[in-house]
């Protein structure tokens, strides 16, 4: 009974959430679009003509926002948005999507073929681990995801590019922050208004890779 009450309470809260209602009105697949929107507008992140890679793209609201921000000419955007996820994603006009795990060599080769030798201007990651409720385990899982995103950025990001990731503000956060500061000239954190106040999620934005060998 208690679980049913919790589920009902969560559903009521979700349906009455102003960001959920706005996403429905503006045809975004989730409220997460407004987290990226706020960060983008504050940081001047997304621009026409860029190559954007969206890691963990499904269900697609970040890719949707990127496509809209970069502008359209008929059915074509000025730039390229490539999404990848283990889960399937319904097609989005202007987004090239690859289903698979980019840690696997075959999938990574497919992704690199889509990049056609180009480096990304922006790499986005709204990925989060399945939570166990055990703080140390969840912190380790999140740090693993950050390492994956960071390794991908070191291999595929332009030197002047940017990496935006979700992480948790809690156990393990300082270690993740230190790794970002070791690789990027500028690192800022942001808790967007569309992020639920009770959620520990926070976003890290690293810009301009440091030259290899510098700290």
Task: Name residue, tokens 């969560």.
Answer: 10
User: For residues 187 and 193, what is the distance between their CA atoms, to the nearest angstrom?
Assistant: 19
Q: Which of 8, 69, 166, 193 is catalytic?
A: 166
User: For residues 6 and 2, what is the distance between their CA atoms, to the nearest angstrom?
Assistant: 6
For 114, counting Cβ atoms within 10 Å of its Cβ (0-12 exposed, 13-18 middle, 19+ buried), the class is: middle
Distance, first Cα to last Cα, the chain: 54
166 annotated active-site: yes
Helix (H, G, I), strand (E, B) or coil at 141: helix
User: For residues 68 and 70, what is the distance between their CA atoms, to the nearest angstrom?
Assistant: 6
Task: Name residue, tokens 């976003």.
Answer: 203
Host H or E run for residue 6: helix 2-15
Host H or E run for residue 102: none
Helix (H, G, I), strand (E, B) or coil at 168: strand
Active-site residue numbers?
Answer: 166
């Amino acid at each position: 009974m208690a679980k049913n009450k919790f589920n009902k309470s969560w559903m009521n809260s979700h349906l009455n959430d102003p960001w959920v209602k706005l996403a429905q009105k503006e045809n975004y697949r989730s409220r997460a679009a407004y987290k990226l929107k706020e960060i983008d507008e504050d940081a001047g992140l997304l621009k026409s003509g860029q190559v954007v890679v969206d890691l963990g793209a499904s269900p697609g609201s970040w890719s949707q926002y990127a496509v809209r921000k970069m502008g359209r000419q008929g059915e074509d955007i000025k730039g390229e948005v490539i999404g990848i996820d283990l889960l399937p994603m319904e097609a989005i006009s202007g987004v090239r999507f690859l289903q698979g795990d980019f840690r696997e060599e075959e999938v990574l080769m497919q992704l690199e073929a889509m990049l056609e030798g180009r480096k990304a201007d922006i790499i986005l990651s709204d990925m989060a681990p399945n939570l166990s409720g055990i703080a140390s385990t969840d912190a380790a899982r999140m740090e693993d995801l950050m390492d994956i995103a960071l390794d991908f950025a070191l291999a595929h990001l332009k030197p002047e590019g940017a990496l935006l990731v979700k992480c948790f503000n809690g156990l393990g956060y300082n270690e993740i922050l230190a790794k970002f500061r070791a690789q990027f000239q500028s690192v800022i954190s942001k808790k967007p208004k569309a992020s639920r106040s009770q959620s520990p999620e926070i976003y890290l934005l690293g810009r301009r890779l440091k030259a290899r060998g510098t700290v």
